[in-house]
């Protein structure tokens, strides 16, 4: 939904910024280029993402059968007026130039960013330009630009993170107590848990001999894709979302100081941030999982790990 009294930022990949909005706050911004059209304003981009249908024809049954449906991308237009009360056409031309630069998102993502009336922090969509901007009229001049976003949900503009580290006692043993068998069948021991709210970073001596855990909160109302960094020494790590019961596992050994960056949404596993290690994924037992709205009990399990091993999860809150 579009709120005319909210400033909307268009930010190009190079950082060029243009602000649209009909409020005093928007007009006070040094990068303000004009108000949104009161009727057309922002269409499509702030609505729900499109739907991708999965179905098969049942020719012999004169019907069809449905599989899972999936969210697709968001596409739409932004329409506004360039500095309608300004008589200096040089200033209007400068606003037009700023709009064109701020929407120059062709080979990399730009951003559409705003703060809804009921929120305290910005939300954003990654955008690419599809058409325009097209500027028409004598005075005032109107414009329209068509944008598309690959994000099915709006995301918080700030990326959250939480880190949990293995810590040694003075006798050189990993701390832990109370043996049990976790949901995916690996015998392990666990300490007394992580404090809530979670400090950042988390440095806890309450770490299992082959399991670490952390409570992650997705403050939005939609599922969101996390990303991970796993630092050695650790062997055969498994990332479990104990809230949903989904996990993914790697057959891989990281020495001290080595790390893997894992991007579930993209299906990428990179050693040292660059070298492809997708072949290390256990395809039969793994599911790329998301963080559900609210609290998520996230666990790192491994055949072995020792002091210096560290697990960091990064995520953005997601909103319908």
Q: Is the pLDDT of residue 215 over 80?
A: yes
- Helix (H), strand (E), coil (C) string for 202-214: CCCCCCCCCEEEE
pLDDT value, residue 206: 34
> Do 312 and 201 share a structural domain?
yes
Domain boundary among 115, 134, 156: 156
Q: Do residues 137 and 166 both lie within one domain?
A: no
* pLDDT for res 23: 92
The verdict on 77 and 175 lying in the same domain is: no
Clarify whether residues 182 and 125 are in a common domain. no
List, as one string, the DSSP characters of 122-150: -EEEEEEEEEEEEEE-SSSEEEEEEEEES
- pLDDT at 167 > cutoff 70: no
- Whole-angstrom CA distances from 254 to 108, 210, 230, 251, 315 are 32, 15, 9, 10, 23
* 210 and 143 in a common domain: no
Q: How many CB atoms lie within 10 A of CB 119?
A: 12
In a domain, 2, yes or no: no
Q: What is the CATH number of the domain that holds 91?
A: 2.40.30.200
Question: CB-based contacts of 137: which residues, under 8 Å, 6+ apart?
Answer: none
Buried b (16+ CB within 10 A) or exposed e, 54-86: eeeeeeeeeeeeeeeeeeeebbbbbbbbbbeee
Most confident range, picked from 87-91, 101-105, 172-176 = 101-105
Residue with tokens 């403050």: 219
CA–CA separation, 276 and 268 (whole Å): 7
In this prediction, residue 211 carries a pLDDT of: 53
User: Model confidence at 187, in pLDDT bands (50, 70, 90)?
Assistant: very low
Report residue 259 as tokens. 């790390």
What's the mean pLDDT when you consider all of the chain? 84
Of residues 215 and 157, the one with the higher pLDDT is 157
Q: Residue 202 — very low, low, confident or very high, per pLDDT cuts 50/70/90?
A: very low
Q: Which of 249, 243, 229 has its CA nearest to residue 292?
A: 243
Query: What is the distance of C-alpha 58 from the center of its chain?
Result: 38
Give me the torsion for CA of 97, 125, 42, 6, rounded to 10°: -90
267-312: pLDDT as tens digits: 999 999 899 999 999 999 899 999 999 999 998 888 888 888 888 9
Answer yes or no: do 97 and 225 share one domain. Answer: no
For residue 207, being part of any structural domain is answered with yes
The lowest-confidence range among 26-35, 115-124, 198-207 is 198-207
pLDDT-derived band at 184 (thresholds 50, 70, 90) equals: very low
In a domain, 3, yes or no: no
For the segment 7-45, what is each residue's pLDDT rounded down to a tens digit? 999 999 999 999 999 999 999 999 999 999 999 999 999
Task: Based on the fold, state whether residues 170 and 289 are members of the same structural domain.
Answer: yes
For residues 299 and 223, membership in a common domain is answered with: yes
Query: Using only C-alpha atoms, what is the Rg of the chain?
Result: 24
Share of the chain above pLDDT 70, in %: 85
pLDDT at 209 over 50: no
What percentage of the chain carries pLDDT values higher than 90? 62
Are residues 228 and 137 both part of a single domain?
Answer: no
Question: What local confidence, expressed as pLDDT, does residue 4 receive?
Answer: 83
Alpha carbons 223 and 280: distance in angstroms, whole number: 26
Range of the domain at 68: 8-156
Question: Which whole-number Å values give the CA distances from 107 to 97, 128, 130, in the listed order?
Answer: 19, 8, 12
Specify the pLDDT at position 197.
39
**Nearest of 122, 114, 110 to residue 46 by alpha carbon:** 114
Token code pair at residue 81: 């007026």
Task: Give the residue from 137, 156, 175 where a domain finishes.
Answer: 156
Nearest 10 degrees: CA dihedral of 101, 104, 107, 108? 80
User: For position 255, which CATH number holds?
Assistant: 2.60.120.860
Lowest mean pLDDT: which of 73-82, 115-124, 183-192, 203-212?
183-192
Contacts of residue 189, defined as CB under 8 A and 6 or more positions apart, other chains included, come to 176, 177, 178, 179, 180, 208, 209, 210, 211
Give the model's confidence band at 230: pLDDT under 50 very low, under 70 low, under 90 confident, else very high. Answer: very high
pLDDT tens digit string along 46-56?
988 888 888 88
Which DSSP helix (H) or strand (E) runs through 215? strand 211-218
Residue 146 belongs to some domain of the structure? yes
pLDDT band at 158 (very low <50, low <70, confident <90, very high): very high
Number of domain units in the chain: 2
CA 238, CA 4: separation in Å to the nearest integer?
A: 47
* CA 223/CA 315 separation, integer angstroms: 11
CB contact set of 284 (below 8 Å; sequence gap of 6+): none
User: At which of 140, 156, 172 does a domain end?
Assistant: 156
pLDDT over 60 at 193, yes or no: no
Q: How many residues does the chain have?
A: 320
């Amino acid at each position: 939904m579009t709120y005319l009294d909210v400033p909307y930022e268009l930010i190009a990949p190079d950082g060029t910024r243009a602000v649209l909005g009909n409020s005093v706050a928007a007009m006070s911004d040094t990068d303000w280029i004009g108000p949104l059209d009161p009727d057309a304003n922002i269409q499509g981009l702030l609505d729900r993402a499109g739907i991708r249908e999965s179905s098969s024809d049942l020719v012999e049954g004169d019907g069809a059968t449905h599989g899972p449906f999936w969210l697709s991308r968001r596409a739409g237009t932004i329409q506004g007026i360039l500095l309608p009360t300004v008589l200096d056409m040089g200033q209007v031309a400068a606003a037009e130039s700023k709009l064109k630069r701020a929407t120059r998102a062709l080979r990399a993502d730009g951003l559409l960013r705003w703060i809804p009336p009921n929120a305290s922090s910005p939300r954003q969509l990654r955008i690419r330009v599809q058409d325009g901007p097209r500027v028409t009229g004598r005075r005032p001049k109107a414009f329209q630009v068509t944008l598309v976003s690959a994000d099915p949900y709006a995301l918080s503009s700030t990326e959250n993170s939480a880190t949990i580290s293995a810590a040694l006692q003075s006798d050189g043993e990993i701390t832990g107590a109370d043996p049990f068998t976790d949901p995916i069948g690996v015998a392990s021991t666990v300490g007394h848990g992580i404090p809530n709210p979670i400090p950042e970073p988390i440095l806890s001596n309450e770490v299992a001999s082959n399991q670490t855990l952390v409570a992650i909160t997705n403050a939005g109302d939609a599922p969101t894709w996390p990303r991970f960094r796993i630092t050695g020494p650790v062997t055969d790590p498994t990332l479990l979302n104990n809230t949903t019961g989904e996990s993914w596992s790697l057959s891989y050994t990281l020495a001290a100081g080595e790390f893997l960056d894992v991007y579930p949404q993209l299906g990428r596993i990179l050693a040292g941030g660059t070298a492809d290690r997708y072949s290390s994924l256990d395809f039969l037992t793994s599911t790329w999982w998301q963080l559900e709205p609210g609290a998520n009990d996230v666990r790192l399990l491994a055949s072995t790990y020792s002091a210096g091993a560290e697990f960091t999860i990064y995520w953005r809150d997601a909103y319908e």
